[in-house]
Structure 1
Amino acid sequence: MGSPALKHDVFQAIADPTRRKVLKLLADQDMAIVAISECFPLSRTAVNKHLHILSAAGLVSSEKIGRETRYRLQPEPLAEVREWLSFFEAYWDDKLELLKSYVENDMD
């Protein structure tokens, strides 16, 4: 019996700027690894490692079409990030409101 595949944390997956850029590319269209690799000063092997991490986090899926593998964005796991950030929106809204009040009162 094989060990279950490790599922990568969505936050770890998007922590790398290259992986965030890959997600942006895939938001526009499905792409083969060759096309993705052309957008970066990295080897195809390095891009493949990034895609593997994104795939393990559920952020991309792949489909073999002929001799190439095409990758597609799966944005659903990003909901976890959105929920986490929304928790802090109220904090920033409050702080910005306080700053606005301070600046307006200081100018009077």
Structure 2
Amino acid sequence: MSTQYKKIQKNLSPAADSANSKSNMKPKASRDLLLLIMIALTMFVMALGWQTLDQIGVAMYTCLMIGMVVVYINRHGNFTDKVHRILVGVSMGTLFASVGLLGLSVYMQYFA
């Protein structure tokens, strides 16, 4: 009876270990590289077009950059689940705000 119990325990313990290892996986380096390139490209566009950007454009690019930096921090920080949820909310809010500002900029430029 004890040998069967040990076999069952041995079969169950690798499944529990693999479930824990999957939750601790880091994001792929290629995604981080793409995110870093996008942050650098946004900074480059802001620096290059600073003289021609209006207030809406500056706010749009600033929200976009803040959102991407918060996503990068969220991926690499060891935070609690509550802090992760807050960071996801902040990043989604700033990214949606930048899309809204883009729509406002297009409306002001072409329709108003």
When normalised by structure 2's length, the TM-score is: 0.24
Kindly indicate which of the two structures has a greater share of residues assigned to strand.
1
When normalised by structure 1's length, the TM-score is: 0.25
Kindly indicate which of the two structures has a greater share of residues assigned to helix.
2
